[in-house]
Each structure stands twice: as C-alpha cells, then as structure tokens.
A and B are shown apart, each in its own frame.
Chain A
Amino acid sequence: MTDSALCAVQLTKRYGRLTALDALDLDVLPGEVFGFLGPNGAGKSTTIRLLLGLARPTAGRAEVFGVDAADVARAHGHLAYVPADVALWPQLTGAEILHLQARTGPGTDVAYRDELVERFALDVSKPARTYSTGNRQKVALVAAFATRAPLLVLDEPTSGLDPLMEHEFRTAVRQARDRGQTVFLSSHQLAEVEAVCDRVGILRAGRLVEVATISDLRGLRRSEVTISYTGTAPDLTMIPGVAAVQPAGDGQLQFTLTAAPAPALRALAAVDVTALAVREPSLEEIFLDYYGEQASR
C-alpha cells in the first residue's frame, strides 16, 4: 500500500441514515494526475474530507503515502490542499495568508510562489475581505502550488476562475507533474479533467462507478453515425454493435456504433448512401451517458 500517494480501502461515511460514501476503494499512484469526477452531491468533497482527516470514516481507512489519514501531523506533511469553497481570514491580506500558510505548511518555494502570484495576477496587498471568489481561490492555489509537497489535493479549484486563469491553472498542474508531484483533482468540469489528467475516477451517489485512463474512458464511447440515403432505408437490425437506430429527418438515419464498423458498413453497402458522418462524443457526453443510464434506472 505504501506505493500509493493516496489510498482508500473500503472507505465509508454515513451521516445518520444517509450514506455519503459507500465502500470506496481507490489508489492514486505517485506522479500521476488523477481526476475525480462526479456531479454535485456525489460525495467528492466527503471523500476529500476523509482523505485529509477532517472527518472520520464510519468504516474503512485512508492513507497518504502509507500514513494513516487520521495522523494529520505526518500525513499533511506530504500534501497541500485547495478547498472547494475557500474562506480566508478577512482581516489578513493575501500576502499575510500566503506567509502564514508557508510558515505552517510542508515547505514552500518562495521564489516560485512570487512567480505564481504574478502569473495568477493576484493583488496580495488587499485584505481577504475584499477578495472575490476567484481571488480567494487564487490565494489557496498559489499557496498549494508553491509547496514542495509531493501531493496536491485540489477540490474543484477552478470554479471561480476566468478562462485565462484556468489556462494558468492547467499550466501549473503540468509543471507540478513535471516536478514529480502527484495531483488529485476533484472536478465536475470535464474539459479540465480531459486536458490535464492521466486517469479518472467517476463517483456517483457515494459509489465509485469507474476508474479508467482518459483514453480508456474515450474507448467506452460509441460513435454517432448519421447517414443520408436515397431509395429504401438500410436494414440495420441484428447488426452487431449497432444500436439506437432512428430516422433523423427525410432520407436520414442515425445510429450508434460501439463495435467494429465492418458489419454495419456491409449492411450500408446494400443501399444508396449519399452521405455519411461519424461523430466522436466528447468526454462530457460519455460522462452524461453514465449518469443518464443511472438516472433512468
């Protein structure tokens, strides 16, 4: 188990009768950027609270580099954290908060921190009271990225950032990975996860439904095929890998393809196909498919 940067074994959290997290098994390897996806209320923040020892598991255990998450003095020596909704001491300025975080944290690269302040265009002379959501998030991000902690735990860190700053964020994540830092990125922004993550875990209603590499996840996709034809419509029943066949207007047909296309192409060859369009679904659509299926159950 000590090989993992983050490890959860049968991690469970119940609040009374509500099961917020149900027997989560998770391994995040050192050096990888792990995306933790799920809709609001799926239990992402609960998982992070358990991994950080901010809440106690009802059952199971969590470890950070082989250290029990409850032993925060040791476990937190290996990590830096950006909460989902950053609250700061209103009377302290950004610079003062960064100073406090550096002095109490696991070690900070001050030169890099100053560079990050520049890159994120953060005015650190202002009291935190006057910061917008995005600026509060920037303070926490700068503090976390500037540490030399081998693990960064980021809980929906870009929800308040504008596109320019989101770009800076992605650059900072890549630089962290290049330095050998592990990144655990909780998000519901698929584009972000697709852009920076190596592997993804998908959480729904407190259960982990999938752990896959980004390319694996794309492999789950089904291509969406639209054809135009003249004359009789092709007969696509009983063709392996073809599903959801439906007319898409006059002389058009739409279907999804989840297997090798050869059988479908053979069937199409029998009719006069005038146009053929194949569309690759985005990760977002794959993701929605997951939850669409779950929701329709």
Chain B
Amino acid sequence: MNTGILPASTTVSLTTEPSPGRAVTWLALRQIRRGGLTVTGLAAGMTAVVAATYGQVMADPAAAGSLRALAGNPAIRTLFGVPIGLDTAGGFVVWRVGTVIAVLLGVWSILATTRITRGEEDAGHWDVLLSGRVPLRDTVIRHLAVVMMVAAATATTITTVLLAAGTPPAGAIIHGAGTGLLGVFFAAVAALTAQVFPARSPATGTAVAVLGVGLLARMIGDGVTALGWLHWLSPFGLLTLSGPYVHNRTPPLLLLAVAAALTTTATLAAAGRRDIRGGLIPAPAGRPARTSLLAGVETFAVRRTLLPATGWLIGIGAYYLLIGLTAVSVTGFLRDNPALAGQAAQAGFAGLGSIPGFAATLFAILAMPVAGFTTVRMTAFLAAETDRRLTLLTSQPVTRIRLLGAEVAVTAVAAAFLVTGAGLLTWAGVTIMGGDLALAAALHGTWNVLPIVLLSLGAAVLAVGWAPRWTGLIGGLPSVGAFLLLIIAESTAAPLWVRDLSPFAHLAPVPLTGPDPAASAIMLATGVTLAVIGGLGYRRRDLLS
C-alpha cells in the first residue's frame, strides 16, 4: 500500500491557529451550561423574590410578628443559620435564602465537577480527548475553571440583584462573594476527590460528605455556644462569620479563598501523579466473588441500595442525634422566654417550649433529606438505564414493572429505615441528656413524615415513566419545593391557598399532637397514584440507551 505523502493540493491550509486548550474549555462549558444557567437563575430569582417582599412583610405587623417567630423556631435556625440583621432588607435576604443558595451552589458544583471530570474519564470519553495535545493537568484545571466560573457568575448575579434592590453595596458584595467562594471551594474539593478516587461515586460521595460535615459543623457552632469556634472550620461557618450587612468582615472570606486555592493546588499535584482512568488510590486488582444478594432482581436492588442508604443514615442520624442532644437546653431557653414562645404559638409553632413540640417541628424537615434520598435513588436507577448497565437485566425474562417495582419497593423500605433511624437517634439524644421523650412518641413523629416522602417517591416514579430527564426536579417538588413554597408563602404573607398547596401545611405536628390520618391518607393515595401512572409509562416507553 502506498503510504506516501499527500499531494500538495490536498493539504489543508489553516486560516486560524488551532487552540486545543480553548476547545477543551468549550467542551467543559457545553456539558454544564444548562445546569449552570439553572443554578445562577435560581440563585438570582430566589434572591430577587425575597428582597422584593421585604418591604411588604415589614409593613404588615402580623406578618412581621410571624416572621420573628419563624426566626425563633429552632428548626429554622439550624437550617437557615442564626438570623442577624433581620431589620434590614439585605440581612433578611441573607438569612432567608443565603444558606439554601449556598447549599444549592455547593452541591451543584460538586456534582458538575465530578460528572465532567471523573465521570467522563470513567466512561472512557477522555481517552480520545487526552490523546490530543492537552495534557491531563490542563484538562482537569480547565474543567474545574469552568465550574468555578459558574460560581463566580452566581456571585455576580446575587450581588447585582441585591444592589438593584437598593441594599448597601458592602453587604451585597460580601454576601455575593461569600456564596461564590463557597461554590469555588466545593468545586475544588470535588476536583481533588476526583483525582484521589478511581471512580465517580466515591469521589462524589466524599465531596458531598465534606459539604455535609461543613454544614453540620456550622449547625453545632450555631447551637452550642462553647463550640462556636467550629465556624472557622466550616465553609458555611465562614459565611456566617463574614456577617453580611451587619459585620461585613472580609478575613473569613479570605480564609475560604485560601482554602480553595490550596485545594486547587493539591488537585493539580494529584493529577500529575496518577494514570489516566486511575486514581491516587488504586482500584482493587481482584477479589473473590461475593454472591450474596445477587439471586434476583429484588435482592440486587437491595444490594445496590445498602451502601448509599447507610451513608444517608449516617448523615441524617448525626443531625438528629445532635437535635436530641440539644433539645433539652433549647426548649429550656424557650420556656424561659415566654414572649418568644408566645409569638411562636401565634405563628402556629405551639409548644416549642416542650420537647415533643420541639421535636415535632424538627421532624417535619426530616421529609426533605429522606425524600432527597428517594429521588437520588430513582435518578441512579435512570442513570443505569441511560449508560446501559441495565441492558443485560432488561434482556432477561423480567418485566419492566418488576425491575422498577423492586427498585421503588427497596427505596421505600430504605426510606422507612432512615426515618426510623432518625427517630431512634433523637430519642437516644434526648434520653442521654436526661430529657423526657418516649421512644414511641419519637418514632410516631418521624414515621409521620413518610407520606410526604412517599409522595415524593411517587412523583419521581411518575417522571421515570414519562419525563425521565426531569426526574430529579419532579421528585424534589413535593419535598424541598413544597417546603420552600411554605416558607416563602409564610414570610411573604401570600394568599392561604398558595400555602395550602404545600403538603407541609397539612403535616400534623406529631408527637405534640396526634397524626392527621386524612391528610396522610390523601398524600399516600396521591403518591401511589403517581407511581402507578409512572409505572404504566415506564412499561410502554422506549428504554434510553
């Protein structure tokens, strides 16, 4: 065969210099542009909505009173942080949506980073990419930079929105910069774990664990005065320390920036020391077969759920153990402040001074992480379908309904374990501190949120059957979406029917009162109906692959 040189006439004359580095950056940008726009848009939208309603809320004495009561609610305080500067529009926005947006941006940064770096490498997509002129370190840093750009864009939009709302520039800049730096930091953490671990799931899991521990450290720091120094160890705590609109401190943000820079440097060092498709921690070379729980579709679903469910149980359990341990001191504080308790009662948080009342308000928010777990499991099931891991099973004599049914049933049982675990650990915490909470009361309280969790699961199954690409969003609507709706409705004095759309508005405060069987039955029936409709869609549609 003639392998001679191409004749001159066919030589392509290049009119522009090729820029492989820029091409890689574009590739990274293409993979995250939709998610990035969504996150930035959500952050801007939530900030704008809350900033716009501040004047309206403060003009209405009833709304202002219920807001103060809401701010005194320990569940809200642990979730949203200690309210400082509620008397200014800026401070109000920071307290109301700052933590939510920070968590949203942090989690998205982690998921996006591991997806486009380790995920792409795992899938073999980088083999071709890295055979080009751009080395691994450059590829990693360019992908990381793109995710960090989204965090920076979010910071800029938040600041712009707050400036447009007429809040003081110093606070707007501190708050925007803090949120953006947090996103940058977690993107760097995820990029580092993606170099350390040879697979995407441990990389994502470890980075999310860092975020979870950071959030927990801030909550402990908020709740236990003696442990306030924990704020310095947590990215979320550093945001609290920066005190936008009140203190406007820059050193905590500088510390966060230094931490992000160090993590990025470590990422580059790690990327230079590993093989492509490998991690710093080598993949195990081989092991004897462990065939337990591989006997069928159902047991295999159990096997795949065990590890993630354990991870979620540790996270949720740690939080509720903490709630249990602090319950005695917090309720004591509220009992000693009748004015605050009175305002809380007016706003519908009666009995916060008692442990059952305190537990009831905190059990309500348990629905969110547990529904998050069920939604994540459903998106994982879909991911197995799209990346064709499920193909070998779908070609076995097993109906699709059985495949999906096994996954849904195992997920529902795991969710029941999670809420039971939360109940047990709350009870244990209270009992250790000498408080008074019956085990049955704790368990009834946590089991009471199961209808919302199952409603979420039903919504996710509906999406799996009919709109698979939207599973994450639709699955999150009845839990996180509905909770945000309730909070926004309550703090903006929205019409009653808006508030009533949220399942949380119909959740009885168990163990303070008995359960509301009618409301629970309606939620359960809706969840089951959604799941059945979703199952019918899944049975009929083409598999994605």
Decide if B542 is an interface residue (CB 8 Å cutoff): yes
Task: Mark out the residues of chain A between 136 and 152 whose CB falls within 8 Å of any chain B CB in the assembled complex.
Answer: 140, 143
Decide if A54 is an interface residue (CB 8 Å cutoff): yes
Contacts of B389 in A (CB 8 A): 87-90
Decide if B400 is an interface residue (CB 8 Å cutoff): yes
Contact at B398–A52, with CB atoms within 8 Å? Answer: no
Contact at A54–B542, with CB atoms within 8 Å? Answer: yes
Chain B, residues 384-403, CB within 8 Å of chain A (1/0): the string is 10011101111111111010
Chain B, residues 78-110, CB within 8 Å of chain A (1/0): the string is 000000000000000000000000000000000
Contact at B296–A73, with CB atoms within 8 Å? Answer: no
Contacts of B395 in A (CB 8 A): 52, 54, 76, 79-81, 83, 153
Residue in A79, A88, A104, A140 whose beta carbon sits within 8 Å of that of B398 in the complex: A104
Decide if A85 is an interface residue (CB 8 Å cutoff): yes
Q: What is the minimal beta-carbon distance from B528 to any residue of chain A, in angstroms?
A: 23
Residue in A56, A83, A127 whose beta carbon sits within 8 Å of that of B391 in the complex: A83
Decide if A124 is an interface residue (CB 8 Å cutoff): yes
Contacts of A95 in B (CB 8 A): 289, 291
Contact at A87–B387, with CB atoms within 8 Å? Answer: yes
Decide if A187 is an interface residue (CB 8 Å cutoff): no
Contact at B398–A72, with CB atoms within 8 Å? Answer: yes
When C-beta atoms are compared, the residue in chain B nearest to A105 turns out to be B396
Contact at A140–B392, with CB atoms within 8 Å? Answer: yes
Chain A, residues 94-122, CB within 8 Å of chain B (1/0): the string is 01110111011110000000000000000
Decide if A129 is an interface residue (CB 8 Å cutoff): yes
Q: What is the minimal beta-carbon distance from A144 to any residue of chain B, in angstroms?
A: 9
Roughly how many angstroms separate A49 CA and B543 CA in the complex, as a whole number?
Answer: 9
Q: What is the minimal beta-carbon distance from B491 to any residue of chain A, in angstroms?
A: 45
> Interface size on A (CB < 8 Å)?
43
Decide if A174 is an interface residue (CB 8 Å cutoff): no
Instruction: Describe A's contact surface by its main secondary structure.
Output: mixed
Contacts of A83 in B (CB 8 A): 388, 391-392, 395
Residue in A56, A88, A106, A153 whose beta carbon sits within 8 Å of that of B540 in the complex: A56
- Given known A-B contacts A103-B295, A104-B296, A73 and B289 have beta carbons under 8 A apart: no
- Given known A-B contacts A54-B543, A83-B392, A87-B389, A125 and B287 have beta carbons under 8 A apart: yes
Decide if B116 is an interface residue (CB 8 Å cutoff): no
Contacts of A79 in B (CB 8 A): 395
Decide if A123 is an interface residue (CB 8 Å cutoff): yes
Decide if A55 is an interface residue (CB 8 Å cutoff): yes
Chain B, residues 524-545, CB within 8 Å of chain A (1/0): the string is 0000000000000000111101
Q: What is the minimal beta-carbon distance from A43 to any residue of chain B, in angstroms?
A: 14
Roughly how many angstroms separate A80 CA and B392 CA in the complex, as a whole number?
Answer: 9
- Given known A-B contacts A96-B291, A104-B297, A126 and B286 have beta carbons under 8 A apart: yes
Roughly how many angstroms separate A129 CA and B542 CA in the complex, as a whole number?
Answer: 27
In this complex, which of A74, A86, A103, A153 has the most chain B Cβ atoms within 10 angstroms of its Cβ? A103
Residue in A75, A86, A93 whose beta carbon sits within 8 Å of that of B287 in the complex: A93
Q: What is the minimal beta-carbon distance from A20 to any residue of chain B, in angstroms?
A: 11
Q: What is the minimal beta-carbon distance from A117 to any residue of chain B, in angstroms?
A: 12
Contacts of A124 in B (CB 8 A): 289
Residue in A49, A85, A90, A125 whose beta carbon sits within 8 Å of that of B288 in the complex: A125
Contact at A129–B397, with CB atoms within 8 Å? Answer: no
When C-beta atoms are compared, the residue in chain B nearest to A95 turns out to be B289
Decide if A31 is an interface residue (CB 8 Å cutoff): no
Roughly how many angstroms separate A88 CA and B287 CA in the complex, as a whole number?
Answer: 17
Contacts of B297 in A (CB 8 A): 104
Decide if B262 is an interface residue (CB 8 Å cutoff): no
When C-beta atoms are compared, the residue in chain A nearest to B124 turns out to be A133
Q: What is the minimal beta-carbon distance from B145 to any residue of chain A, in angstroms?
A: 28
When C-beta atoms are compared, the residue in chain B nearest to A124 turns out to be B289
Task: Mark out the residues of chain A between 246 and 280 whose CB falls within 8 Å of any chain B CB in the assembled complex.
Answer: none
- Which 3 residue pairs spanning A and B have beta carbons closest together? A125-B286, A95-B289, A81-B395
26 contacts between A and B (CB under 8 A): A49-B542, A49-B543, A52-B394, A54-B395, A54-B545, A55-B543, A73-B399, A73-B402, A76-B398, A79-B395, A83-B395, A88-B389, A88-B392, A90-B389, A95-B289, A96-B294, A100-B393, A103-B294, A104-B393, A123-B286, A125-B287, A125-B289, A126-B286, A127-B286, A127-B287, A153-B395
Instruction: List residues of B whose CB falls within 8 A of some A CB.
Output: 122, 198-199, 283-291, 294-297, 300, 304, 384, 387-389, 391-400, 402, 540-543, 545
